[in-house]
């Protein structure tokens, strides 16, 4: 096409030439992106342009929403690309949810799709966006940032490269990098929480970009989502029973121990430890020196021996039989149970 | 709420008192655990694998107030029940994974101080563990009619192949000799050596005849050696729990930060490749510590690739085998369930003793949100304290209606100590009551 339309400069169209091209295409029922008449760049002959079928008459101007949408698309592609293009999951997310974030008119929509294709071909960078970002209100910036994080995480993870780019974009958007980390974290953590039926992640509603922001619900009205409470309760119930298995009383050791074992010792302990355990029954409270003497006589080391005995007590009664450290206290109940 | 069993007074008091003091209870966390069933299952799998001679590593990432510390503490309690030995420490500017000025040794010393077993959950279990090992060697020696010291050396023989293994075995043998000869100071010196309390090699040589000490350069190797001793003593393994990793992120010196991340990489590699038998790590950190590409773990390329989350875990599919476990912030619904559980514990698990109905909890939450906005569930520590205070007052003044009391709760927002910006000193964290 450009072969027939090229003018004086073999590489680039003049402004007049570009506008003429747009007009001709419009008469033929096609639109072109970028369109010089709408403030778009003048197409380069060596670069790409997007051609799309016009369903209604083309526009005479582009709405602020459209401009914001292209800005978001631009940023999103930069963020999600890493070195290559955004992967298909991310592209899909971008296409599907951007339109729900920012409502476009029908004619803008097809133009936007062409623009998006073009961006994907061009592999944009972050240069020259300052003025476009400044045109956006600060609330919208917050929503944009959140959306970008969603795109980056759409494929299950924000890779370090994506984080790196997001950091730069957040700086451009004049947002704190702390906000970035908590945004990424919360999205990742929530998908991990895998609440069924609340997916894919819903992007913040369309309102912020409209300029008429619905005021945030007053802080003092607290509404609990009882269905979430229910699911939390049942999850917690599962945790409780899981943990009860671990922390709970263990089933009593089988009583069918062979006679020789019983002779050998109490509660699965060897002879020396059993004797020490029996010695403990003499008093409710012991000084370290007293116990150490008994242990020595039995050829045991006190701390190690008490550890072994208490371990056995835990196995059988889920509690220690002797506690403290000079003086030691004997738990009579456990001791009874062990000696029984 | 929890299963119908009553809760023992001892357990109940421990939970309530800890929460009231604003700290995580050491036992009984399971009474108040809300949700996170998959995370807990993942960790339990880790612990079981460690018991079978495997290794594990998890980074528990969550924002301030998301319950990292609580989660780590729960993991420790589970580990103790699984017959693992645990050791925990908070990283601080003076306690790091890598250092040249004694900060790494000081981390090791802190870990050894907090060494806990099921029978000594409050820490200080080092002598018990060593004695348990020696005792079993003694009884084996008796059975085989040989010198216990020979058994000790025999059992520790394979440690000699590990870095520092020879001296480690010497120290354990010294402990036995001290016991055998009634030389308390020799025993004490062996324990001091194991705790990392010797600061000069000369002292160690005079006291124990060994040429090395635990220092900044070898503390991780020492942990590996110690893990082997623990396994030889009959425990399943050693779980190291490190909190406040954000302190590494806060290190101003780039080189110091990098060296610490290098150490993390080494630990991570050892764990993932199974070089550290029976040794596992859980580490708690904030999202910025993980994700900051200039100063966080992501700034270190080799860690980046190993920590990258699974690309196939999309759309609610989750890979809980990734070393990173993310904890989301508490939602109001989580808090509602949590307060319900606290009420349950407070009433000894007896529904008939509940001091206020569900509407009471909601009323309390509404009140808190009016006072401090979102912070009441984002940083729940104060909210929980205030709630327990409320329950105590209700308990002691049965004539008062919760409706009158709830509106009087005085609660303050708390500040995030993890933030890089230094906080003002005059934060008042108290939740108070007036009747």
CA A181, A184, A189, A190: dihedral to nearest 10 degrees?
130
* Chain B CB within 8 Å of residue A269 CB: no
Question: What gap in Å lies between CA B420 and CA B422, rounded to an integer?
Answer: 6
Q: Kindly provide the residue ranges of all beta strands, DSSP E only, lying in B202-256, ordered along the sequence.
A: 238-243
- Tokens at B311, concatenated: 């690309």
Please check whether the domain covering B35-124+236-327 is classified as CATH 3.50.50.60. Answer: no
Listed residues A210, A241, A269: the one ending a domain: A210
Smallest CA–CA distance, residue B400 to chain A, in Å, is 25
Q: Which of A50, A97, A49, A39 is nearest to A73 (CA)?
A: A97
Domain of residue A317: give its range: 259-339
On chain A, the residues whose CB falls within 8 A of the CB of B139 are 270, 272
Most confident of A5-19, A192-206, A297-311: A297-311
Distance from CA of A225 to the nearest CA of B (A): 7
CATH code 3.40.50.300 region(s) in chain B: 35-124+236-327
CB nearest A155 (choices: B1, B128, B311): B311
Strands (E) located in B91-227 = none
Indicate yes or no: CB of A304 within 8 angstroms of CB of B131: yes
User: Of A89, A219, A304, which is closest to B135 when you measure between CB atoms?
Assistant: A304
Q: Residue B282 and residue B99: Cα distance in Å, rounded?
A: 20
At residue A67, the pLDDT reads: 80
Is residue A96 within 8 angstroms of chain B, CB to CB? no
- In the DSSP assignment, the letter for residue B423 is P
pLDDT in tens, A62-115: 777 778 888 888 888 888 775 566 667 777 777 777 777 777 777 777 788 888
How many domains, chain A?
2
Burial tier of A333 (Cβ tally within 10 Å: 0-12, 13-18, 19+):
exposed
Chain B CB contacts of A194 below 8 Å: 38, 316, 318
* pTM as predicted: 0.81
**Is residue A204 in some structural domain?**
yes
Provide the total of helices (H) and of strands (E) in chain B, helices listed first: 19, 5
The SS3 call for residue B89 is: strand
Q: Over the stretch A209-240, which tens digit does the pLDDT of each residue have?
A: 344 444 444 444 567 788 888 888 888 888 88
Cα B81 to Cα B232: distance, rounded to the nearest angstrom:
18
**CA dist., res. B133 & res. A99, Å (int):** 68
* Burial zone of A201 (CB within 10 Å; 0-12 exposed, 13-18 middle, 19+ buried): middle
Which residues of chain A neighbour B76 with C-beta distances below 8 Å?
Answer: none
Give mean pLDDT in consecutive 10-residue pieces for chain B, a chain of 435 residues.
67 90 84 88 92 91 88 93 94 94 94 93 92 89 88 88 90 92 92 94 93 93 94 93 94 93 94 87 93 89 77 54 85 90 90 88 87 78 88 86 79 62 38 47
Q: Residue A41 has what pLDDT?
A: 67
**Torsion angle defined by CA atoms of residues A86, A92, A94 and A100, in that order, rounded to the nearest 10 degrees:** 180
Final residue before a domain boundary, out of A210, A240, A269? A210
Among B40, B288, B304, whose Cβ lies nearest the Cβ of A181? B288
Cα B111 to Cα B103: distance, rounded to the nearest angstrom: 12
Q: Which residues lie across from B86 on neighbouring strands?
A: B116, B239
Distance set, CA A77 to CA A82, A145, A160, B208, B256 (Å): 9, 13, 16, 65, 36
The CATH number assigned to the domain holding A96 equals 1.10.3680
Looking at the fold, whether A186 and A325 belong to one and the same domain comes out as: no
Residue of chain A with shortest Cα separation from B367: A220
Three-state SS at A329: strand
- CB of B318 within 8 Å of any CB in chain A? yes
Q: B131 and A305: CB-CB below 8 Å?
A: yes
- Residues of chain A with C-beta less than 8 angstroms from the C-beta of B36: 235, 239
Question: Mean pLDDT: which of A187-196, A315-324, B234-243, B398-407 is highest?
Answer: B234-243
User: Which positions in chain A touch B365 (Cβ < 8 Å)?
Assistant: 222, 224
Predicted ipTM > 0.85: no
* Per-residue pLDDT at A58: 54
In angstroms, the CA A171 to CA B77 distance is 43
CB contact under 8 A, A304 and B134: yes
> 10 Å Cβ neighbour count for A212?
7
Of A157, A229, A300, the CB nearest to B336: A229
- Measured in angstroms, the CA of B300 and the nearest CA of chain A are apart by 10
Q: pLDDT category, A261, cuts 50, 70, 90?
A: very low
Q: Quick check: is A243 in a domain?
A: no
Query: What is each CA distance from B429 to A286, B67, B432, in whole angstroms?
Result: 42, 18, 10
pLDDT tens per residue across span A145-155: 888 888 887 77
Q: What letter would DSSP give residue B299?
A: G
User: Domain check: are A332 and A192 in the same one?
Assistant: no
Closest CA in chain B for residue A319: B119
How far, in Å, CA of B226 to CA of B238, rounded? Answer: 8
Statement to judge: residues A204 and A293 lie in one domain: no
Query: Percentage of chain B surpassing pLDDT 90?
Result: 48
Chain A residues touching B374 at Cβ < 8 A: 219
In the beta sheet, which residues pair with residue A52?
A: A31
The answer to whether residue A205 is domain-embedded is yes
State whether A74 and A202 are in the same domain.
yes
Judge if A203 and A127 occupy the same domain: yes
- Copy the structure tokens of residue B92: 């601080």
Of B314, B370, B374, the CB nearest to A155: B314
End residue of a domain, out of A187, A210, A233: A210
Rounded to the nearest angstrom, the minimum Cα separation between B11 and chain A is 12
* pLDDT for the residue A55: 65
Contact status of B311 with chain A (Cβ, < 8 Å): yes
Contact at 8 Å (CB) between B34 and B337?
A: yes
Q: What pLDDT does B218 receive?
A: 92
Using DSSP's 3-state secondary structure scheme, residue B340 falls into: helix
Query: Angle A177-193/A160-172 helices, nearest 10 degrees?
Result: 130
Within a domain: A34: no
Instruction: Flag whether residue B334 sits within 8 Å of chain A, measured between CB atoms.
Output: yes
- Cβ-based contacts of A97 with chain B (< 8 Å): none
Q: Does A311 sit within 8 Å of B118, measured CB to CB?
A: yes
Note whether A163 contacts B: Cβ–Cβ < 8 A.
yes
**How far is residue A140 from each of residues A71, A145, A147, A209, measured CA to CA in Å?**
12, 8, 10, 5
- Closest-CA residue in chain A for B137? A300
Closest residue, chain A, to B295 (C-alpha): A164
Q: Which of B81, B130, B294 sits opposite A247 (nearest CB)?
A: B81
Residue A249: closest CA among chain B residues belongs to which residue? Answer: B81
Task: Answer yes or no: is pLDDT of A60 > 80.
Answer: no
Q: Which of B73, B149, B191, B293 to probe the A interface (max A CBs under 10 A)?
A: B293
Q: How far is CA A173 from CA A56, A151, A164, A166, in A?
A: 35, 16, 14, 10
Q: Is residue A219 part of a domain?
A: no
Q: Which residue of A lies nearest to B369 if distances are taken between CA atoms?
A: A220
Residues A183 and A293 in one domain: no
Enumerate the residues of chain B whose CB falls inside 8 A of the CB of residue A220.
Answer: 366, 369-370
CB within 8 Å: B33 and A181: no
Nearest to A164 by CA among B299, B114, B361: B299
Question: Which of B39, B224, B170, B195 lies closest to B113, judged by CA?
Answer: B195
A298 falls within a domain: yes
Chain A partners of B318 at a C-beta cutoff of 8 Å?
191-192, 194
- Would you say residue A194 has pLDDT above 50? no
User: In chain B, what residues touch A300 (CB-CB under 8 Å)?
Assistant: 135
Distance between CA atoms of residues B183 and B177, nearest Å: 8
Could you please report the per-residue DSSP string of A179-243? Answer: HHHHHHHHHHHHHHHT-TT--SPPPPPSHHHHS-PPPPPPTT-----HHHHHHHHHHHHHHHHHH
| Helix orientation angle between A138-153 and A160-172, rounded to the nearest 10 degrees | 170
Whether A196 and A203 have beta carbons less than 8 Å apart is answered as no
Tokens representing B138 are 């003694």
């Amino acid at each position: 096409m450009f072969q027939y339309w090229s003018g004086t400069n073999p590489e680039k169209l003049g402004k007049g030439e570009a506008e003429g091209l747009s007009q001709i295409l419009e008469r033929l029922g096609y639109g072109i992106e970028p369109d010089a008449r709408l403030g778009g760049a003048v197409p380069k002959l060596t670069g790409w342009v997007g051609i799309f079928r016009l369903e209604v008459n083309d526009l005479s101007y582009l709405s602020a929403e459209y401009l914001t949408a292209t800005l978001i698309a631009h940023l999103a592609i930069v963020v999600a690309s890493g070195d290559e293009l955004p992967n298909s999951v991310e592209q899909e997310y971008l296409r599907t949810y951007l339109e729900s974030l920012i409502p476009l008119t029908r004619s803008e929509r097809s133009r936007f799709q062409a623009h998006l294709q073009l961006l994907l071909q061009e592999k944009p960078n972050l240069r020259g966006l300052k003025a476009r970002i400044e045109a956006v209100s600060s609330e919208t910036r917050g929503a944009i940032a959140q959306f970008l994080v969603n795109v980056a995480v759409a494929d299950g993870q924000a890779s370090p490269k994506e984080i790196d780019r997001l950091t730069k974009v957040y700086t451009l958007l004049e947002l704190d990098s702390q906000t970035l980390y908590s945004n990424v974290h919360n999205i990742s953590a929530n998908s991990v929480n895998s609440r069924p039926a609340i997916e894919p992640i819903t992007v913040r509603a369309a309102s912020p970009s409209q300029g008429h922001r619905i005021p945030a619900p007053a802080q003092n009205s607290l509404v609990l989502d009882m269905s979430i409470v229910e699911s939390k309760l049942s999850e917690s119930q599962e945790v409780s029973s899981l943990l009860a298995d671990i922390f709970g009383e263990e089933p009593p050791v089988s009583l069918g121990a062979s006679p020789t074992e019983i002779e050998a010792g109490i509660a699965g302990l060897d002879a020396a430890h059993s004797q020490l355990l029996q010695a403990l029954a003499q008093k409710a409270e012991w000084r370290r020196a007293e116990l150490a003497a008994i242990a020595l006589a039995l050829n045991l080391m006190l701390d190690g021996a008490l550890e072994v005995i208490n371990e056995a007590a835990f196995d059988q009664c889920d509690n220690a039989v002797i506690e403290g450290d000079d003086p030691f206290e004997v738990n009579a109940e456990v001791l009874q149970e062990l000696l029984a | 709420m929890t299963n119908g069993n009553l809760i023992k007074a001892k357990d109940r008091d421990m939970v309530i008192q800890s929460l009231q003091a604003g700290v995580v209870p050491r036992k009984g966390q399971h009474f108040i655990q809300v949700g996170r069933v998959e995370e807990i299952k993942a960790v339990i799998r880790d612990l079981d694998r460690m018991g079978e001679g495997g290794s594990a590593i998890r980074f528990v990432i969550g924002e301030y107030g998301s319950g990292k510390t609580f989660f780590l503490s729960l993991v420790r309690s589970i580990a103790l029940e699984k017959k693992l030995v645990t050791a925990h420490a908070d990283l601080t500017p003076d306690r790091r994974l890598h250092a040249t000025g004694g900060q790494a040794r000081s981390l090791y010393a802190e870990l050894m101080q907090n060494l806990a077993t099921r029978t000594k959950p409050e820490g200080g279990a080092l002598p018990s563990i060593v004695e348990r090992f020696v005792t079993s060697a003694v009884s084996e020696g008796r059975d085989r009619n040989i010198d216990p010291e020979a058994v000790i050396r025999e059992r520790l023989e394979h440690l000699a192949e590990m870095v520092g293994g020879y001296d480690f075995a010497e120290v354990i043998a010294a402990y036995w000799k001290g016991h055998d000869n009634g030389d308390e100071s020799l025993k004490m010196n062996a324990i001091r050596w194991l705790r990392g309390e010797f600061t000069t090699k000369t002292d160690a040589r005079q006291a124990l005849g060994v040429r090395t000490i635990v220092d900044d350069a070898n503390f991780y190797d020492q942990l590996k050696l110690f893990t082997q001793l623990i396994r030889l003593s009959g425990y399943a393994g050693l779980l190291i729990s490190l909190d406040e990793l954000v302190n590494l992120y806060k290190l101003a010196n780039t080189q110091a930060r990098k060296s610490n991340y290098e150490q993390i990489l080494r630990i991570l590699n050892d764990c993932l490749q199974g070089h550290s038998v029976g040794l596992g790590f859980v580490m708690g950190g904030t999202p910025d510590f993980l994700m900051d590409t200039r100063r966080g773990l992501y700034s270190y390329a080799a860690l980046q690739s190993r920590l990258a989350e699974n690309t196939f875990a999309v759309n609610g599919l989750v890979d809980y085998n990734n070393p990173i476990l993310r904890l989301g912030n508490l939602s109001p619904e989580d808090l509602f369930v949590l307060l319900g559980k606290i009420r349950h514990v407070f009433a000894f698990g007896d529904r008939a003793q509940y001091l206020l109905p569900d509407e009471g909890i909601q009323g309390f939450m509404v009140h808190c949100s009016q006072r401090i906005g979102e912070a009441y569930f984002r940083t729940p520590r104060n909210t929980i304290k205030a709630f327990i205070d409320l329950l105590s007052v209700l308990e002691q003044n049965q004539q008062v209606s919760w409706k009158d009391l709830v509106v009087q709760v005085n609660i303050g927002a708390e500040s995030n100590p993890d933030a890089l910006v230094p906080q003002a000193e005059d934060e008042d964290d108290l939740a108070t009551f007036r009747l």
